[in-house]
Amino acid sequence: MAERAQARRLRPRGGGVQQPTTTVELFFDLVYVFAITQLSHLIVDDLSVAGVAGAAFLLLIVWWAWIYTTWMVNWFDPTSPAVRSVLTGVMLASLLMAAALPGAFGDDGVLFAVSYVTLQVGRNVAAASLLRRDQPLRDVFERLVGWSAASGVLWLAGSALEGDRRLLLWIPAVALDLCAPVAGYWLPRRGRAATTDYDIEGGHFTERCEGFIIIALGESIVVTGATAADAGLTSTVVVCLGVAFLETAALWWLYFGAMAERSRLVMRTSEDPGRLARDAYTYLHVPIVAGIIATAVGDDLLIAEPRQALHGVGLAVALGGPVLYLVGESLFRMRVTGAVNPKRLAVAGVLVLLAPVGAQVSALALSAMVAALLAALALWELRAPAHPLGPRPGSPTDAPLASVGDLRHLQQQQEGTTS
């Protein structure tokens, strides 16, 4: 009976079973729409180096809370009442954490830290308790409990300090959180865990991370749309809104273009999807999301003062957001497919070179140049899409490192066509 109960809580594996994203997961994501909006407003309200650095620090915590829950739900079935109850509790803790983001270094520091620690430790303890001791995943979650509890002590102790002094303990706490996957969640007498122990369903994991990119892009549209409505829909504001939308649409196209299906295929057929999920999605999606948030802030500045030139941090955000996005996206694709995309890196370099020009022209002119470059890049890639399993003739730099699973998948397709 206990074995049947555990089976109902875990997603089925193997046999070609599909692992779709459930409505429970989509409902859970709504809290993180709010969290991303909070981070954007933090930068807009404090457009300084310290303000941007603080928002970047908090983004790491928000992302870590979301991605660890994504790992859990890749294993556990959200349609199970027990799992759904855990997700509901995690969602409440996430909401409290998101609400406390603006005051994390002020009056709401304790609430922020308590919510985050409760979310991380509570989810891991609950997941471990839902598994029998002979279930291999039980060892994984017991390791997670140990590492999240260790960092949790630093988070809670840091919240007792005042203002920026909290960073004295919160920075080591973040470092501990970030190093845990690379360290294999090492524990005394147990050693390290291997990524092959994680048994990730690559298709579902990819879909969930793509969903978070949609969350970030959607928040960009919400912020710019709301700013435009508040500013009054004059002809200039309408043009600015169109430019901002073109920029966001280009970012969407660059992520969800031909390379997206290629990445999904590699994740579905990889012999070690846990390692790819750790490297490419858990770590390398952070600069992608950060780039989208920074781009949204730049669009907000555009609509607020389209005729004024951007300087200092404002200029750095407007240009640095797309640059960070392109570099992060290039690193992500390179890790997944083994392919280098020189076109994206070249456009990122051009954007960096626009910095001296950007300080001399209006925000509208600068944003129009950025949007035009991103749109041209998307159209350029549309004309020459990458082959899902190999390079186009004459394009050795775009060649992926085809896996055995890729070739097996292609062979099955060919056999099906022949029959």
Q: What is the secondary structure of 248-316 as a DSSP string?
A: HHHHHHHHHSHHHHHHHHHHHH-S-HHHHIIIIIIITHHHHHHHHHHHHHHHHHHHH-TTSPP-HHHHH
Residue 179 neighbours by CB distance under 10 Å: 12
Judgement on whether residues 241 and 381 belong to the same structural domain of the protein: yes
User: Domain range spanning residue 342?
Assistant: 202-406
Judgement on whether residues 186 and 239 belong to the same structural domain of the protein: no
Question: Do 283 and 60 contact (CB within 8 A), yes or no?
Answer: no
Radius of gyration of the chain (CA): 22
Would residue 124 count as lying in a domain?
yes
- For the chain, how many structural domains are there in total? 2
Judgement on whether residues 238 and 375 belong to the same structural domain of the protein: yes
Would residue 122 count as lying in a domain?
yes
Judgement on whether residues 36 and 141 belong to the same structural domain of the protein: yes
pLDDT given for residue 7 in this prediction: 53
Judgement on whether residues 187 and 231 belong to the same structural domain of the protein: no
Question: Do 120 and 82 contact (CB within 8 A), yes or no?
Answer: no
pLDDT given for residue 396 in this prediction: 33
DSSP letters along 187-253, please? BTTTBPPPGGGS---HHHHHHHHHHHHHHHHHHHHHHHHHHHHHH---HHHHHHHHHHHHHHHHHHH
* Residue entry with tokens 């048994």: 199
Q: Is 312 left (phi over 0), alpha (psi -120 to 50) or beta?
A: left
Question: Do 241 and 249 contact (CB within 8 A), yes or no?
Answer: no
Exposed e or buried b for every residue in 85-122, given b needs 16+ CB within 10 A?
ebbeebbebbbbbbbbbbebbeebbebbbbbbbbbbbb
Would residue 348 count as lying in a domain?
yes
Judgement on whether residues 181 and 292 belong to the same structural domain of the protein: no
pLDDT given for residue 264 in this prediction: 84
Would residue 373 count as lying in a domain?
yes
Rounded Cα–Cα distance for residues 101 and 109 (Å)? 8
Rounded Cα–Cα distance for residues 248 and 242 (Å)? 10
pLDDT given for residue 170 in this prediction: 96
Structure tokens at 250: 């280009």
Would residue 412 count as lying in a domain?
no
For the purposes of burial, counting CB atoms within 10 Å of the CB of 415, is it exposed (0-12), middle (13-18) or buried (19 or more)?
exposed
Would residue 419 count as lying in a domain?
no
The stretches in the chain having pLDDT less than 50 are: 385-419
Judgement on whether residues 267 and 401 belong to the same structural domain of the protein: yes
Q: CB under 8 Å to 61, separation ≥6 — which residues?
A: 97, 116, 174
Would residue 413 count as lying in a domain?
no
pLDDT given for residue 393 in this prediction: 34
Judgement on whether residues 42 and 143 belong to the same structural domain of the protein: yes
Would residue 332 count as lying in a domain?
yes
**Which of 193, 217, 252 is the endpoint of a domain?**
193
Judgement on whether residues 161 and 232 belong to the same structural domain of the protein: no
Q: CB under 8 Å to 134, separation ≥6 — which residues?
A: none
Rounded Cα–Cα distance for residues 326 and 198 (Å)? 29
**Which of 169, 193, 217 is the endpoint of a domain?**
193
Question: Do 29 and 37 contact (CB within 8 A), yes or no?
Answer: no
pLDDT digits (tens, 9 = 90+) for 190-220: 888 888 888 888 888 999 999 999 999 998 8
Judgement on whether residues 293 and 215 belong to the same structural domain of the protein: yes
Torsion sign over Cα 239, 243, 244, 248:
positive
* Residue entry with tokens 């079973």: 17
**Which of 193, 220, 249 is the endpoint of a domain?**
193
Judgement on whether residues 368 and 343 belong to the same structural domain of the protein: yes
pLDDT given for residue 3 in this prediction: 54
Judgement on whether residues 153 and 170 belong to the same structural domain of the protein: yes
